[in-house]
């Protein structure tokens, strides 16, 4: 599997929100998962996208990822948000995945001038 990560760590909050809104407009589907330190396994959360977005504040982690699976000859683009919330004496990590067709993802990358992270 080929995976491309794009530089997002220095983006302003406004730019992240603009990219997120563009991804939502062009999404194929989305998924919200949560990971608790009690189970250490991810579980899907069934909710509306509006309610899912309310789990995130300005401190969320933001990633843009392009994937190619040669076995299925399939390309996808993903925008990922991660947020850690403290609940009583434990923590819950929320992961919101916005999946896009790869051509729409490429347009988003070009529009917002995202640069690929190069690993040696």
User: What is the structure's pLDDT at 36?
Assistant: 75
Number of domains observed in the structure of the chain: 1
In a domain, 36, yes or no: yes
Rg of the chain over Cα atoms, rounded to whole angstroms, equals: 15
User: What is the structure's pLDDT at 120?
Assistant: 63
In a domain, 29, yes or no: yes
- Alpha-carbon distance 50 to 22, whole Å? 15
User: What is the structure's pLDDT at 80?
Assistant: 96
pLDDT digits (tens, 9 = 90+) for 7-61: 999 999 999 999 999 999 999 999 999 987 766 778 899 999 999 999 999 889 9
Q: Which domain holds residue 23?
A: 2-111
User: What is the structure's pLDDT at 1?
Assistant: 79
In a domain, 118, yes or no: no
Strand order in 27-36's β-sheet?
2-6, 61-69, 74-87, 90-101, 27-36, 42-44
């Amino acid at each position: 599997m080929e995976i491309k990560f794009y530089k997002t760590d220095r983006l302003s909050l406004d730019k992240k929100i603009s990219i997120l809104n563009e991804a939502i407009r062009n999404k194929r589907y989305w998924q919200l998962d949560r990971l608790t330190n009690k189970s250490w396994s991810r579980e899907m959360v069934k909710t509306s996208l509006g309610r899912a977005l309310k789990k995130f504040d300005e401190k969320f982690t933001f990633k843009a990822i392009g994937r190619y699976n040669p076995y299925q000859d399939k390309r996808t683009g993903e925008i990922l948000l991660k947020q850690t919330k403290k609940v009583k004496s434990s923590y819950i990590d929320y992961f919101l995945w916005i999946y896009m067709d790869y051509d729409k993802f490429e347009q988003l990358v070009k529009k917002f001038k995202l640069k690929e992270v190069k690993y040696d």
